[in-house]
Chains A and B, each alone.
Chain A
Amino acid sequence: MLHGVEIPQRLIELSQKSMHTVKGRFLQPYWTESFESLAETAQESPPVSINSRALSTLITPLTPVRDGTPIIGIDTSTIKIGETEAGIIWAVRAAVVWGNNRGYRYLRLGPLPFHITEENKHAFFGGSVDHTFLNATSFSSVSAETQGRLCNLIERWIQASVSHSVSESIILWDGSLTAGTPGNPVSQISHILEAARKNRNAILAFSKTTTIRSLGWRITDFATRYEPPCLFEVADLPLSTSRRIHLLGRIYAANLSRGGRSFRLDIDRTLSREQGIEAVERLLGNELMFQGYPETLRLAHIYSTFTANDVIGIQSFLKREYGLKIINRRSIRKALFGPYGTRYED
């Protein structure tokens, strides 16, 4: 089904190029003992604080439409593998999942290791995507932000690739359709949405968390009070909350199954309201919902996520392949404070 979805050669070359800079270096591995606290490192929707004055009075009850529309879920994860004297090594993995004969199929891309340093970060990001969305000057340090950008870099590539290669499908993203934040350039996301529309696809983006509130209430809390499946549209939202941030989706609180949870759902704003709602109804008719969350997206998350075993495997691979010397530099905080406030630190 997903012909042509693959890791672009440029990305592989970028990875290889960055990894050549680690040869023979010391590696302070990201210790796996603290993996209980191994936080969700896949990127979440950027925190955009919007205060809506009121929810729409229109509660849209949904009727599932079972018409065989293919549902495709996409998710990407990054994880810190360790630190070298010069920078940080990250690994990225993407997963695309779709329904197949009453079961599911997945395409997993990666892991791809990247060694990002102060020296290579400009060339690295600048050369890989357009400068508007990855502005090298915003990299003040090799940090968690890099991780998010790296993840987005891959994810946008996969999302674009899927949007081009499938038609008349519903494509599920993890996150929102908010653009303009670091790693989420408006032009690129708009371009992906346009490509999807051209192929008569609908993009639905699910956020597990949201900061949008109305009258002091989180919008997802409202939705749980009504009989599912239903949607609440968050009305009177501006198209952009600042000069940089653009909301490319129409925002809903979606309560899609009984006993499930409510999620923020962004639907491509360029689609008509009716087309958007119809897309959600087709999602309901052709997809299994687990706690109100689409199964393909849940599986995409599971298949892209890194386990502790993955991290150890990658560390071991890098050690063997690039002659890294593993060192164990103890955390200064741990050395100073012992277990107090440092329990989950590596």
Chain B
Amino acid sequence: MRLFRKVGNTLHILSFPGEDVEKGGYLLIEDMKAKKAMIAQVIDIQFANVPGVMEELLRSPDVEDQVQGDDVDPFGIMSQILYIQDARLLVCKIYGTIVNNGFFSDNNWLPSRTDSKIRKLSTESLMKLAGITKGLPIDLGETQDAAPMIIDACELDGRLNIITGKKGTGKSHLSKILVLGLIEHGATVVILDLNGEYTNLGLAADGTKNKHHEKIRVLTPAQNFKVTLYKTNLYVVMRLLTNALNLPGASAREFRSIWKFLEQNGTLTLHELGGAIKRWKCNQHVRDAMQSRYYAILHSGFFTDNMAEALDFEAVLTETDKKGGGAIVINLKDMAPSDRKMVVEYVLAKLQEILSQWKLRAVFLFAEEAHLYLRETYWDDIVTRMRHFGLFTTFITNQPNTIHENIYRQADNIFLLNFVNEHDLQAISRAARADAETAISIVRDLPPHYCLVLGQVVKDFPIVVKIRPLNIKTMGQTRYFFLKEREKR
């Protein structure tokens, strides 16, 4: 490899066939005279602009050509000419400098073209140099040079994370690895599971219980997840009515009065609430508004008057925490959008309530396709208030443009899987922790189950990881009409 050019924080390096360099890999440019070394990541591999290649290719026959022939080349020079034709230009981003074994983020020097030696920098060495620790290890898989990629769970603690990639690239799979890693270290995780993909986290691929089984609790609203009005705080119900069911302000005020009336009388039940709305002296429009929301609540099946079938969500959370962590999967599969919003609003309000009262230290929230159930204003809550309460969110989506720009800007860790669509690539380029060119160039060519990790967990050295397989029963098996034909293939 030969150093060719430096423009800003970009290096261009000439590489020849046989020098096995991959996109995403790191190089060390050691200037022997200056006794310094530059660390750079390969973000693109192009053909070197060798003069005359176009003419060479135009006259080289391919199999179908009408012109075929033989070369008598007694010196074997043609092999060298072909070798030059395949010369590559490595476009690299500079990440810093090593002087006296210490790392500095200094890019303002030029390594010598003649005195520099360029070699691959192993991920293991990079991790050592960057100080990527393995305190509470979560095994993500392996790097391009087959080194184990282990991140520190502490780097997810108190952080805002994003997992994004196009459909079928392994987002949920990676998310499950993070969830299981966190609960192994005693964390409490709440998962808003849109497609019921996490419901089998406690089962191995063969359907038997795995080691996480006792730590996974699946709550399906209207089935094993029902709540009573009695156990629900007015604040939670009001958030649910106004945010999820869009109850107007005037109606909300009347509803608050009814709620307090029933609370005082000790008759805070669904049945009594329905009757009270009917009898309450108020404007007919207000009554209609309250009644329609009442029926929405009633028909969701999420609320019940039967104390025996009701679940104390707060107790579930605190118990999980006491038992040394675990995952609570809120199974939102097959739910009507309004019911889904209601459940999510309830869960988030409850979490905020519990966390603000310090009944729990912190909760890791994993939210799949959050734009389908999160209200507009909640995005800002996440990056401002909720983090301070101890709710650390990881968003998982295949539509990166649905995540608000401020989330990208404030995200501490970003796990990028493959994208090819230009709009999607532009969306992810907004992430403050990533160099846009690096992210776009590498992510575009990632194969399925490969991920570009950016942010705190890798100390801002983007690393490509091949995500390890998980022995977990998959739930989200795609339904096909031509199933037999597919099996034959």
Asked if A311 is at the interface (CB within 8 A of a chain B CB), the reply is: yes
Q: How large is the interface on A (under 10, 10 to 19, 20 to 34, 35 or more residues)?
A: 35 or more
- Pick the contact of A314 from B50, B53, B55, B77 — CB < 8 Å? B77
How far, in angstroms, from A312 to B87 measured CA to CA in the complex?
Answer: 11
A111 touches B77 (CB 8 A): yes
The answer to whether B72 touches A107, judged by C-beta atoms less than 8 angstroms apart, is yes
Contact indicator per residue, chain B 305-318, by CB within 8 Å of chain A (1) or not (0): 00000000000000
A33 to B49, CA, bound (A): 12
Contacting residues, chain B, for A105 (C-beta < 8 A): 67-70
Q: B97 at interface (Cβ–Cβ under 8 A)?
A: no
Within the complex, the shortest CB–CB distance from B55 to chain A, in Å, comes to 4
Decide: B68 and A12 in contact? CB cutoff 8 A.
no
* Residues of chain A with a CB closer than 8 A to B75's CB: 15, 111-113, 317, 321
Is the Cβ of A308 less than 8 Å from the Cβ of B74?
no
Q: A38–B459 Cα gap in the complex (Å)?
A: 51
Chain B residues closer than 8 Å to A321, beta-carbon distance: 75
Within 8 Å of chain A (Cβ to Cβ): is B66? Answer: yes
Whether the pair A312, B51 counts as a contact (CB closer than 8 A) is: yes
Q: Is B81 an interface residue (CB 8 A)?
A: yes
* B83 close to chain A: CB less than 8 A: yes
Determine if A103 and B74 form an interchain contact, defined as CB atoms under 8 angstroms apart. Answer: no
Q: Flag if A310 contacts B52 (CB, 8 Å).
A: yes
- Cβ-defined partner of B73 (8 Å) among A106, A111, A311: A111
| CA–CA, A113 and B84, complex, Å | 18
Report yes or no: B53 in contact with A103, Cβ–Cβ below 8 A: no
Q: Please, how many angstroms separate the alpha-carbon atoms of A303 and B71 in the complex?
A: 10
Q: How far is the CB of B64 from chain A (nearest CB, A)?
A: 10
In the complex, A193 Cα to B84 Cα: how many Å? 41
Q: How far is the CB of A13 from chain B (nearest CB, A)?
A: 10
- Selected from B51, B56, B69, B84, the residue in CB contact (under 8 A) with A106 is B69
A110 within 8 A of B: yes
For the complex, is B59 an interface residue (Cβ under 8 Å from A)? yes
Known A32-B51, A303-B59, A314-B81: A12·B69 in contact at CB below 8 Å: no
Q: Which of B59, B66, B80 contacts A317 (CB 8 A)?
A: B80
Kindly state the separation between the CA atoms of A313 and B17 in the bound complex, as whole angstroms. Answer: 14
Would A106 and B67 count as touching, CB distance under 8 A?
A: yes
Is A344 in contact with chain B by the CB < 8 A criterion? no
CB-CB under 8 A from B82, the residues of chain A are: 313
- From known contacts A303-B59, A309-B53, A311-B52, infer whether A107 and B84 are also in contact, taking CB-CB under 8 Å: no
Determine how close the nearest CB of chain A comes to the CB of B216; give it in whole angstroms: 61
CB neighbours (8 Å) of A314 from chain B are 77, 80-81
Kindly state whether residue B85 has any CB partner on chain A within 8 Å.
Answer: yes
Let me know if A65 is at the binding interface, CB within 8 A. Answer: no
Bound: A35/B56 CA distance, A? 14
Chain B residues with CB under 8 A of A312: 50-52, 81, 84
Known contacts A7-B72, A105-B70; 7 further A-B pairs (Cβ under 8 A): A32-B52, A103-B67, A107-B72, A108-B70, A110-B73, A310-B81, A314-B80
B: residues with CB less than 8 A from A are 50-53, 55-56, 59, 65-75, 77-78, 80-85
A-B pairs with beta carbons under 8 Å apart, 29 shown: A32-B52, A33-B51, A35-B51, A97-B69, A100-B68, A103-B66, A103-B68, A104-B68, A105-B68, A106-B70, A107-B69, A108-B70, A110-B73, A111-B73, A112-B75, A113-B75, A307-B51, A307-B52, A308-B50, A309-B85, A310-B81, A312-B50, A312-B81, A313-B81, A314-B81, A316-B83, A316-B84, A317-B80, A317-B81
